[in-house]
């Protein structure tokens, strides 16, 4: 795989490491979506709604980062670096870094497995919403929009399942690699 260079590399790492970068991205997306879907409202309302969405998302991210930092005993920058190593399947040689990565992998696997208990219910609710929209579309005679939303919901459900499977495989691989090399 070719090595990233230049501005793309810098921006990518800035977004993965910086809460400010992630907050700016959420704000821009929130304002943009407000402008796209609420064209007839005042632009100030778009900004206020975008700021509200940003505050909620950033609060959630800060709490998650704090919990992960507490579980692993290291700061957010180290966690981000270890996350990159995990995604690239790199096992550290330093025993202290290996111990931190082991705690991080165990913590992330625990989160995924705990979330997996509720996953069928969430996916079922999403499926019911899609089916309900299809029925409403058929009743009202505007099946095109309802069918489009149902396809998007089905694609989103499939994406969730595939990403969960991929992530579980990655973390189980790293857990095994950390145990066999340590």
What is the C-alpha radius of gyration for the chain, rounded to an integer number of angstroms?
A: 21
What gap in Å lies between CA 124 and CA 51, rounded to an integer? 31
Q: What confidence tens digit (pLDDT) does each residue in 74-121 have?
A: 988 888 888 889 999 999 989 999 999 999 999 999 999 998 999 999
Strands in 14-118 per DSSP E: none
Prediction pTM value: 0.74
């Amino acid at each position: 795989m070719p090595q990233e260079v230049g501005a793309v590399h810098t921006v990518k790492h800035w977004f993965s490491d910086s809460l400010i970068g992630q907050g700016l991205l959420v704000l821009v997306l929130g304002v943009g979506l407000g402008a796209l879907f609420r064209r007839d409202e005042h632009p100030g309302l778009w900004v206020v709604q975008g700021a509200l969405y940003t505050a909620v998302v950033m609060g959630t991210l800060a709490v998650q980062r704090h919990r992960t930092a507490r579980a692993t005993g290291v700061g957010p920058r180290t966690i981000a670096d270890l996350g990159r190593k995990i995604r690239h399947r790199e096992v550290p040689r330093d025993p202290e870094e290996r111990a931190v990565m082991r705690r991080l992998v165990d913590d992330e696997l625990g989160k995924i497995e705990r979330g997996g208990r509720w996953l069928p219910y969430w996916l079922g609710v999403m499926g019911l919403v899609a089916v309900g929209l299809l029925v409403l579309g058929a009743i009202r005679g505007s099946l095109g929009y309802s069918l489009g939303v149902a396809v998007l919901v089905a694609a989103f459900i499939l994406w969730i399942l595939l990403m969960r499977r991929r992530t579980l495989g990655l973390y189980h691989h790293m857990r095994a690699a950390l145990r066999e090399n340590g």
